Structure 1
């Protein structure tokens, strides 16, 4: 079987081991695994999990940063017939306990002590408030060799439409819910994604996006396995480390949020590194500055710069730009629907709706929330506001909840952010609506200046007045060293509102 034909993740691992046998699969510090090595390690992990009693449909949680063990563990879980439940490395005990309890995970694999986080102790502290009765086994990465040494044959047979993973939504708008995604969805969708992203055999892919995020795992690990690319995981984003890895490992593909690229472009030591190997960048956000796309192509000489759009509930991807799209299209749209997926805009609310084979099977053990998210015709209600142009390209204007009304006019933060992002001294910006006695609400902009720049709120106000209708103008500006973000890179506007 060719890797591109595999429709279960265990089949994909085996096909990769046979087809790309001696090519490097994972490079993590001193650990360098070929595709044959990776296949063998995943098989051992599956057998070790089987020896611990993991079987078909059992949920197994993974609480660890990007690294070779995360990759082997995740692939081992699904190869044993289990269902992967990734946990955010920034979670505290109560947050992790909630997901462990909701998912009914029976075993936890954990890198206890990562960045000083005592995950197991934090879980113990949360036990009184959130018990996890199904969790009967915990294996730390410190015990990895001993865990891997004991195995038994794997009896589970995995089929394409079996549940592969439960990725819990970020929870920025409420309690996280587990999106049920299958093997077929993960493999089939990322054949398309990797083709449009122009990922090739022999590419070297720097995996900065966290693997506990749908996009990090599926557009990272799964896409690389499909194409025979080398995964170079980075546990924590740090600009000098990223620049060094690009140079040392001759990285060719580097997906990430806009802040990753702006941080690299503006780093004072960038010129000291050889970044000429870079070929592909893929990003996505409500606001992607056009100037950033232009700089990536002009200063780093990237061949392919794309934006994409998706949610956990859509298996991470729904729309993508195409490789020959111009910088304005890439920056101001999220591309068109990928083959097999439909996108339309609700005529009343402006909400983006998605339908296709990539839509989750529902939220785990939560029929009410599933019914709220996916209607009877199969359309996923995203909660995003957007519009489609004559080409069918999607532009996200905002979240339904983020829109605010200024004196009777709808104002969308993303539009204001796009304008401010064009200011030569602005590195990043986020806009929210704040109460106003006369107009109801007005815009407030949180701005991260470019290093070494000096300017004032009055400068930004003048800049906006030349480009925006009066009701859209920010009435106040707050300067920050960095925008608050969750571990997936999303700006936490709830934190900004709390200020």
Structure 2
């Protein structure tokens, strides 16, 4: 039986009634209110269990007390390296509760990448799963933790490990149970007082890392108010109804999960159905089990799910909405989704960590042509908007990628964004901040595009060399530096190329030193030791020095390398030979 739904207009009117004006709040204060109002509603639904709003709040309070006992101070940096787990959300809320700043870490990253982030972010405390995303992080980081604790110049203090296997975690970590027990020594009044003292919605609540064109990740500083406004803008644009249930197997460390999913749903007492990692069959089972209304995906997930034969026998009577972001999807894929999932409200969008997730969304009812060729227009924000930005959260302009000058309407150039959800800078990166943000507060997006007369934005590629693999940004230079460590490699350049499964992937061109030899497998093994799996180039070609496309000054022309790579892949597809 199909669920009876309110119209888009009725849902938005309900949101206007519930939120007649915008009140700035910390994330902790927001969830305190929501967890009281929607106490019995499920907030996090995992494959084997459900956690309600009230239970999340109780956990958050307990963890906040345990953090205080541990010694966490206001403005301390709390890094979280965990798989999807309700405790992740509880630790995030608890950190806000006591005025600490969360540093979410990508579980796919390797030791060297994580070490850089722990140091660069001035992390004081680390909470981690013993094993996350099949990576033995507790084991691989034990030496790093010991070094940080011995380093007189490091602010690092302690790491708490949540066991995930029979073997004990290294002794350098404080055990999770010992950490939890510390809550017994702290009175509720102490947490209440700390929450009162640190009640500043305009202070930094999270430092979320994003890749940069230099190859080194940058920590985007976001405030409570930025994150909550972004979530509400999605809630309003997509007309969330009370009790909205979203399915998203996206990682909790990513703004897509946090903003488009968790925070947006929290304004209407909605919940997130999730799991440790995306599996198409399990996804269908979970959407059926929990009567999901909305599927948050990236194109590779959508394709994999639609290819499962079980989809024909899965009861998805409650599912009616689909948001597929991170990369454009062709019309045939959207048509398949509409036909096989019976969704009636489909859309796509784009944004960035610097703007607290999506700033653009297609509108409900937009035709497939618009959905497949644009990333929408600036999303409506309701009371979370600002008159300065046309009662929305942001405004865009197009600039010259080289000079930074504003271009006339209709021009093709680099998109730049300004608004009340946009970061004021990167943590301890003054030069990158100065380059990215102009005097008016516009942040360069790194995307080339154009804005049409109706406000719809079309992306035309990256202004730099970054590309995205299943929504994860890759900076080629970071991987080039790793491959260059091989003693046989003279020089290497990597470009992003289209890929059916992951939207884009890396293609590496490698010139070896004269008289040296090397195999593709050696290159892949070297990468596996030092970078996340999604960063490893899928295509590797060895070239001669004479084959490099050079400028008159001898610089490698990457756009020509990209054309060469695509031509090679086209030939492979046609002939089956490399």
TM-score with structure 2 setting the length: 0.70
Q: Secondary structure of the residue that 2:294 maps to in structure 1? A: coil
- Map of 2:37 onto structure 1: 19
Residue 220 of structure 1: how far off its partner (Å): 2.1
- Map of 1:80 onto structure 2: 98
Residue 121 of structure 1: how far off its partner (Å): 2.3
Q: Does 1:58 align with 2:76?
A: yes
Q: For the Cα contact (< 8 Å) 1:44–1:148, is it kept in 2? A: yes
- Map of 1:68 onto structure 2: 86
When structure 1 is superposed on structure 2, of 320-329 and 192-201 the one drifting more is 192-201
**2:137 aligns with one of 83, 100, 119:** 119
**2:462 aligns with one of 369, 375, 399:** 399
Q: Does 1:134 align with 2:122?
A: no
**2:570 aligns with one of 477, 480, 483:** 477
When structure 1 is superposed on structure 2, of 428-437 and 342-351 the one drifting more is 428-437
**2:257 aligns with one of 206, 212, 216:** 216
- Map of 1:200 onto structure 2: 241
- Map of 1:491 onto structure 2: none
Instruction: Give the Cα separation in 2 of the matches to 1:438 and 1:159.
Output: 53
Query: Unpaired segments of 5 or more residues in structure 1?
Result: 404-412, 447-472, 481-498
Q: Does 1:345 align with 2:398?
A: yes
Q: What do residues 180-222 of structure 1 show as CA deviations (whole Å, max 9, x unaligned)?
A: 0000111112111111123222122123111111222222221
Q: For the Cα contact (< 8 Å) 2:549–2:561, is it kept in 1? A: no
Instruction: Give the Cα separation in 2 of the matches to 1:174 and 1:52.
Output: 35
Matches within 5 A, 1:177-188: 177-188=218-229
Q: For the Cα contact (< 8 Å) 1:442–1:475, is it kept in 2? A: no
Instruction: Give the Cα separation in 2 of the matches to 1:479 and 1:430.
Output: 17
Q: What do residues 261-314 of structure 1 show as CA deviations (whole Å, max 9, x unaligned)?
A: 111111233223223322211122343212212221222111211111111111
- Map of 1:45 onto structure 2: 63
When structure 1 is superposed on structure 2, of 337-346 and 391-400 the one drifting more is 337-346
**1:273 aligns with one of 314, 335, 350:** 314
Q: What do residues 332-373 of structure 1 show as CA deviations (whole Å, max 9, x unaligned)?
A: 111111313111112566111111111112111121111011
Q: For the Cα contact (< 8 Å) 1:170–1:176, is it kept in 2? A: yes
Query: Unpaired segments of 5 or more residues in structure 2?
Result: 1-16, 164-174, 380-391, 403-412, 467-494, 510-546, 552-556
Q: What do residues 141-175 of structure 1 show as CA deviations (whole Å, max 9, x unaligned)?
A: 23444422322222242211011100011357511
When structure 1 is superposed on structure 2, of 300-309 and 342-351 the one drifting more is 342-351
Instruction: Give the Cα separation in 2 of the matches to 1:128 and 1:70.
Output: 24
Q: What do residues 65-94 of structure 1 show as CA deviations (whole Å, max 9, x unaligned)?
A: 111111111111111211010111111122
Distance 1:438 1:80, change over 3 A: closer
Q: Secondary structure of the residue that 1:355 maps to in structure 2? A: strand
Distance 1:135 1:226, change over 3 A: same
Q: For the Cα contact (< 8 Å) 1:430–1:445, is it kept in 2? A: no
Tell me which structure has the larger Cα radius of gyration.
Answer: 2
Matches within 5 A, 1:351-430: 351-402=414-465, 430=504
When structure 1 is superposed on structure 2, of 344-353 and 154-163 the one drifting more is 344-353
Q: Secondary structure of the residue that 1:352 maps to in structure 2? A: strand
Instruction: Give the Cα separation in 2 of the matches to 1:303 and 1:428.
Output: 25
Number of paired residues?
A: 439
Matches within 5 A, 1:261-340: 261-338=302-379, 339-340=392-393
- Map of 1:174 onto structure 2: 215
Instruction: Give the Cα separation in 2 of the matches to 1:164 and 1:438.
Output: 45
- Map of 1:407 onto structure 2: none
Residue 249 of structure 1: how far off its partner (Å): 1.4
Residue 479 of structure 1: how far off its partner (Å): 6.6
Q: What do residues 100-148 of structure 1 show as CA deviations (whole Å, max 9, x unaligned)?
A: 1111111111011235422122123446998873221111123444422
Matches within 5 A, 1:98-109: 98-109=116-127
- Map of 1:465 onto structure 2: none
Distance 1:430 1:39, change over 3 A: closer
- Map of 1:150 onto structure 2: 182
Q: What do residues 396-430 of structure 1 show as CA deviations (whole Å, max 9, x unaligned)?
A: 11001359xxxxxxxxx99x96xxx9xxxx66654
Instruction: Give the Cα separation in 2 of the matches to 1:445 and 1:328.
Output: 30
Instruction: Give the Cα separation in 1 of the matches to 2:341 and 2:321.
Output: 10
Q: For the Cα contact (< 8 Å) 1:60–1:106, is it kept in 2? A: yes
Residue 31 of structure 1: how far off its partner (Å): 3.4
Instruction: Give the Cα separation in 2 of the matches to 1:103 and 1:177.
Output: 9
Instruction: Give the Cα separation in 1 of the matches to 2:401 and 2:176.
Output: 54
When structure 1 is superposed on structure 2, of 124-133 and 90-99 the one drifting more is 124-133
Q: For the Cα contact (< 8 Å) 1:315–1:358, is it kept in 2? A: yes
Q: Secondary structure of the residue that 2:295 maps to in structure 1? A: coil
Instruction: Give the Cα separation in 1 of the matches to 2:147 and 2:433.
Output: 26
Instruction: Give the Cα separation in 1 of the matches to 2:345 and 2:439.
Output: 38
- Map of 2:536 onto structure 1: none
